[in-house]
Amino acid sequence: MNTISMLIEKLCRYLAGLAFFAIIVSVTIQLIGRNVLPDSPLWTEELSRFGLLFLAGFGLGPSLPSGDLVNVDLFCESLKGRKPWMLRLLAAGITAVFCIMLLQPAWQFTEIGAIQTSPALGWRMDFIQASMLVAVISLLAFSILRIIGMLLGTTDGLPAHLPLEEDA
């Protein structure tokens, strides 16, 4: 189970990194265009916006196990006994249910883009609007992995600490 979770997390982080790289390249070209050339290319602004959508889409799922999403741990962790664990499990369950409820609307939103193209790049917008579907599926996958891990006892649902955080 941990292997699957780690593979999915690495894939999402890699794809989020590619989206971030696209933003860096786009903004760099934009800055060079504004400061060196007479005008910056129009497509750079559009590409940076699309990169930001996919950065959020791929980054949303891995932010659940790392604790980077909004939490109410001050309240939850102040409770006694097994209550904090149960609240973390409940929160993961509610997150999964909301994601399941959002799958159909996210799919419809993606389908609408098939009849649209982006103005500067000319790309089909369903490929871009799929970033919302990616976000929902990513968060759903990580919430289900948290539920399974908590029920199997491989995780307690607390945020995982990154190696750099443990040294500090």
In a domain? residue 166:
no
DSSP 124: B
> Any residues with CB less than 8 A from the CB of 87 and at least 6 apart, and which?
76, 79
Tokens in use for 129? 């609007």
Range of the domain at 105: 2-157
> What is the model's pLDDT at position 79?
83
Q: How many CB atoms lie within 10 A of CB 109?
A: 18
What confidence category does residue 1 fall into, taking pLDDT thresholds of 50, 70 and 90? low
**In a 3-state reduction of DSSP, which class is residue 117?**
strand
In a domain? residue 163:
no
What confidence category does residue 37 fall into, taking pLDDT thresholds of 50, 70 and 90? confident
In a domain? residue 74:
yes
Tell me: pLDDT of 71 over 90. no
Query: What's the N-to-C CA distance of the chain in angstroms?
Result: 29
> What is the model's pLDDT at position 157?
84
Q: What is the pTM of this model?
A: 0.84
Q: Which amino acid is it at 135?
A: A
Q: Which of 31-40, 73-82, 91-100, 135-144 has the lowest mean pLDDT?
A: 73-82
Task: Count how many domains the chain has.
Answer: 1
In a domain? residue 111:
yes
> What is the model's pLDDT at position 136?
96
> What is the model's pLDDT at position 52?
96
In a domain? residue 55:
yes
In a domain? residue 135:
yes
In a domain? residue 89:
yes
Tell me: pLDDT of 167 over 60. no
In a domain? residue 91:
yes
134-166 tens-digit pLDDT: 999 999 999 999 999 999 988 888 887 655 555
